[in-house]
Amino acid sequence: MNLSIFGTGYVGLVTGACFAEMGNKVLCVDVDADKVAGLQRGEVPIFEPGLENLVRNNGASGHLEFTTDAKAAIHRSDVIFIAVGTPAGEDGSADLRYVLEVADTIATHMSSDKVVVDKSTVPVGTADRVRTTITSRLEARGTGCTCQVVSNPEFLKEGAAINDFMKPDRIVIGSDGGTAADIMEQLYAPFNRNRDKVVHMDVRSAELTKYAANVMLATRISLMNELANLADLVGADIESVRQGIGMDTRIGYHFIYSGVGYGGSCFPKDVKALIHTAQETGYRAELVESVEAVNNRQKLVLFEKLVGHFGENLDGLTFAMWGLAFKPNTDDMREAPSRVLIDSLTSQGARVRAYDPEARSEARHLYAGNDQVEICDTSEATLHGASGLLVVTEWNEFRSPDFGHLRGLLKQPVIFDGRNLYDPDYVTQLGFTHYGIGRGTRPTE
């Protein structure tokens, strides 16, 4: 099929590259001319394993192109995806200005029937607004064209997005029936061969499904963090608890790891948006509100443990930090726990030397001009003379360090393990004081 995708952010770029890989002709549209020029050269502005190769290979084959010419993209496409950002407003609502701007652009240049697909994460009722925007403009132009609007939410995990798209758990298609549903099913046929993964539903149910999925996962994370904090107080080990409940097939092991809170571009924004949607209907989503409150508090837990060890005055102390991205295999620092931790440490006079395998460029941009924050190119460079090590992101390269070498470089042998990577008993035997999440405090022996 001939597809156009408005927006070359995370969702738009992955969607375009994966559809192109299956032989479709894909034209990605963005208003940022410099970004488009870079993509035309095969320069991918985000880190996502496998994405750069897909973009370059399909660009070379002619299946994937990039442009700023919205009119040309609309004319040559049968199906148009809207994959622009929906940032959270101050009240937590999703900002739909870019979605509706694209809808208006589509209606301005349409000269034949189209299927328009909402791929962005949007509140319930957005497809209706997109349809109204397009229909009213088409009627004013008197074109006689028709437009079918579909909700097709994405369920991509940063760090595993290519695999998630190529081998999806489910493909949700929200439509009012008619030919649009059949067209979408044909488009996804290459990803739906082993078993039927397509779930057809009405548009509003599809829109709510996306929010429901992310809020469900965020709830599991916040619940485990709540239990971890309680475990610290009652002398239990949350890792033993995790294994004990994970063996229950009704619960399973996914998303029950305690830590320093969730971040990224999806969970925080979508939790806020669902709270706002509930408020607009006059309903208070108390559980969802608690999920957000627990997560905000959890981002401070490691700092509170550090203050408990060193005291509130951190002037003159330097701390090593391993991990800046909100999760491994991405360079995304949006809403990352590391940012809250860095702000808390520097506000108390401490200096931070931080390392991340992929997020260094973003971190240097965020902390440019802040002489209390140094972004290092290796994990070892953060350690020299540091008063302690904080582990914030569970990158594989942090899982098995040379503890003897690490201890020799640190001024004080103390580890604040925000992702429970290390066995407290083992590192304590090696001479470290270990602070985990829900694992108690293990002073050096």
Q: Which two tokens stand for residue 308?
A: 């408990």
Amino acid, res. 12: G
Q: How far apart are CA 422 and CA 399, in angstroms?
A: 7
The H-assigned helical ranges of 123-176 are: 126-141, 161-166
Q: Which of 78, 80, 174, 79 is nearest to 126 (CA)?
A: 174
Q: What is the DSSP string of 406-431?
A: HHHH-SS-EEEETT--S-HHHHHHTT
Cα–Cα distance for residue pair 227/204, rounded to 1 Å: 34
Q: What count of other Cβ atoms lies within 10 Å of the Cβ of residue 240?
A: 12
Q: Could you tell me which residues come within 8 angstroms of residue 77 by beta carbon, excluding any fewer than 6 positions away?
A: 2, 3, 4, 27, 114
- Helices of type H across 235-348: 238-246, 267-280, 286-298, 301-310, 337-347
- How crowded is residue 296: how many other Cβ atoms within 10 Å of its Cβ? 13
Q: Which helix (H) or strand (E) holds 352?
A: strand 351-355
d(CA 173, CA 201): 6
Task: Report the candidate in 32, 286, 263, 279 with the shortest Cα–Cα distance to residue 159.
Answer: 263
By the 10 Å C-beta count (0-12 exposed, 13-18 middle, 19+ buried), 60 is classed as: exposed
- The closest of 127, 72, 150, 78 to 105, measured between CA atoms, is 72
Active site residue 28: no
Q: Which of 28, 147, 266, 376 is catalytic?
A: 266
Longest dimension (CA), the chain: 81
DSSP-derived 3-state class of residue 150: strand
Nearest-angstrom CA–CA distance, 116 and 47: 28
Taking a C-beta distance cutoff of 8 angstroms, is the pair 322, 422 a contact? no
**Catalytic positions, please?**
266
